A = this chain, B = another copy of it.
Amino acid sequence: MFFRVKETAFHCVPDRPDPIFARQLQEVLGGQWGEISVMLGYLFQGWNCRAPGKYKDMIMDIGTEEIGHVEMLATCIARLLEKSPVETQEGAAKDGLVGAVLGGAKIQDVIMAGMNPHHAIVSGGGATASDSNGNHWSAKYIVSSGNLLADFRFNVAAESQGRLQVARLYNLTDDPGVKQMLSYLLARDTMHQNQWLAAIRELEEDGLEMTPCPSNFPQELENQEFNYAFLNHSEGNESSQGRWASGPSMDGKGDIKYVEQPPAMGQVQDLSQVDPRLFGTPKAALTDKERGLMFQDEQR
């Protein structure tokens, strides 16, 4: 069960409206790697977690924190869209092209010049649950697999992609208030990368999971010829120069070999016939008799 305090977790007060940046900032709210993704992703992982309490509590704590991050970004975007376009023009007028666009412009001109039309027509100056191109947020972006190592690895990736996008946005604005907020989000992503990396270490030290994941699957059942082989699939062999191509494997369980010309081990890719009642193109034209058999009930 959840409760709310009325203050936001951190400052999210832009110095002035900027409808153009509002569109871009949507990416880290409602994009593939935005805060909705980590919020709902972590909450589902936490609710589905069956492992000892420290794991579930840690996952739920960060999931709950992320609700507050969604709140901060939604608030910041609504404020970037806040005042009337008339007022906006004045504040923005000294701002190069932004000013050029808004100076003397009518409301439709503002929209034309890179603003998200949904911010005007659909949400009326509010944030939306979508990305910087207007794609609606989708649960295709998240995972909760029941296996914590598989999920924590995904979470490390999410915090890396997320911090990368925030860093890019940091370079796309001059607004001190916005930068203050982004600076906080960068800090939290730094902590969260460390947090998930630590949690992976903890899983290993607790003997719960290790590489290859899932570690409960008996490795002797996997093909022993190809589980530590790098298969070159191109002319030339630059790919042989990295650590992935020779030496002991990262899991300590094998030695990597480099196969420069991997043979095709299977059969020619062809198929047999399907049921003629599916009307697929057959290997040879059906005889009239065969066609008749398919519908004999009908033709009586």
Contacts and interface: CB of A to CB of B under 8 A. Distances in A.
B153 A299 contact: no
Contact of A269 (B75, B113, B245): B75
Interface in A139-162: 139-150, 153-154, 156-157, 160-161
User: 8 tightest A-B contacts by CB?
Assistant: A124-B146, A133-B134, A48-B126, A8-B266, A146-B280, A7-B264, A125-B274, A112-B114
A174 B181 CA distance: 39
A266 B223 CA distance: 38
A107 B135 CA distance: 23
Task: Give the interface size class of chain A.
Answer: 35 or more
B107 A128 contact: no
Taken together, the copies of this chain in the complex come to: 6
Contact of A7 (B113, B156, B229, B267): B267
A233 to B, nearest CB: 4
A200 B148 CA distance: 20
Contacts of A96: 104-106, 109
Nearest to A48: B126
A71 to B, nearest CB: 6
A180 B95 CA distance: 37
A133 B85 CA distance: 21
Interface string A240-255: 0111110001110010
